[in-house]
Amino acid sequence: AVEATEAELDAMLRRAHAAQGAWDGLGGEARAGLLDRTADLFEEHREHFYSLCIREAGKTLPDAILEVREAVDFLRYYAAEARRLFTNAHRLPGPTGETNELRLHGRGVWACISPWNFPLAIFTGPVAAALAAGNAAIAKPAEQTPLIGALAVRLMHEAGIPEDIVHLAVGDGKVGAALTAHPLIAGVAFTGSTAVARAINRSLAERDGPIVPLIAETGGQNAMIVDSSALPEQVTRDVVASAFQSAGQRCSALRVLFVQEDVADTMVTMIRGAMEALSIGDPRLPTTDVGPVIDAEAKASLETHVAELRAAGRVVAERALPAGAEQGSFVAPVIAELPDLSALTDEHFGPVLHVIRWKAGDLGKVIDQVNATGYGLTLGLQSRIDTVHAEVQAKARVGNLYVNRNQIGRSEEHTSELQSH
């Protein structure tokens, strides 16, 4: 994959802008059919995606399988939405009782900038949403995972989506900055760091002309609260999955475990034992639980943080790396104890679990600490007390609250959705 130049980006945007009106005019049913065909092709090429996810993104085989399933789900979901929202006119009552018809249309060309930790699913989702609504899209994959994005776009074209409607723009942050600053961009969908999202927001706000919408999903200092009523075996299973699956490289991964001090020793001992049983190594092997982090830069940042924790005497458990792991970007899973959440100022995107003990009666203070981080993506709760569930749900300012389960995957049966504040 070759990095896009500013001239190439300009040409892409002009072609997409010129073609968008005809794409919008196809209507929801036609666009839905092409998205469904793309989903079929993703499934037909799933083994190719598995291989790329393992080799390019360092995913384990189970994570690679889930990645493709989620991408296909996005395509089929937005195909259904295209049929529901963009096939027929919507009848709305007028101010004097008459009936007006409203037809929904696309805005223009969207910049869709995706991360390396979900290089197919989050790459596909925003593009599929833009296309379903009658927009064109410039899809920029993370600089670490361009081949996955390239295959996804090739299959979109093979399914019949016009080449001028969805373009691949490969490169680093400079390409993303040039893309979002272009005057023909009508909207931006971004997943990545909070700092970059703020920079994009400032750039868009300074532009003259129509307001350009920004959809941004950024970092999370995700916590799980465990009280004395929680089942230790269930807590252990869910904490280990939430903190260490995908080498801790999920937006929703568990970073901070608040454990009521009455049960903390037992809980931490069990979690430590389960962590030490994890298999670390080659993500191509079915037996591997924890693969590498994305690159040497991520490894160095995590190792610096762990060294600081170690120097402060905070590390309570550290999984030894197997022989040969020093040749790759592997980071040993770690458990460290902190006095309170103020000791953790940044999100550390990897297999590092921070434990904080709290006293009975201080649940409100724990929730206040979580709210004060400024992040509000995901919160886990392990408790068998209904009043605890109600208090956390009422007071926590988070987008997703997971009760008595892991917090790295959605489940309609077990997830309580809260409105982000």
- Answer yes or no: 217 catalytic: yes
Q: Is 31 exposed, middle or buried (0-12, 13-18, 19+ CB in 10 A)?
A: buried
How many of the other CB atoms lie within 10 Å of CB of 24? 20
SS3 content of the chain, % helix, strand, coil (to 5): 45, 15, 35
> Cβ(221)–Cβ(196) under 8 Å?
no
> CA 238, CA 249: separation in Å to the nearest integer?
16
Residue 50 has, within 13 A of its CA and on its CB side, a CA count of 15
Place of tokens 């309580």: 416
φ, ψ (nearest 5 deg) of residue 415: -100, 135
Q: How far is CA 325 from the centre of its chain?
A: 27
Distance from CA of residue 166 to its chain's centroid?
22
What is the C-alpha separation between 276 and 317, in angstroms, rounded? 9
- Of 43, 81, 217, 391, catalytic: 217
Structure tokens at 138: 């410039």
Q: Which two tokens stand for residue 345?
A: 């100022």
Token pair of 24, please? Answer: 């919008």
- The backbone torsions φ and ψ at residue 320, rounded to the nearest 5 degrees and listed phi first, read -70, 140
Active-site residue identified among 112, 251, 337, 347: 251
Query: Is residue 417 among the annotated active site residues?
Result: no
Strands (E), 179-291: 185-191, 214-217, 223-226, 256-260
Active site residues per annotation: 217, 251
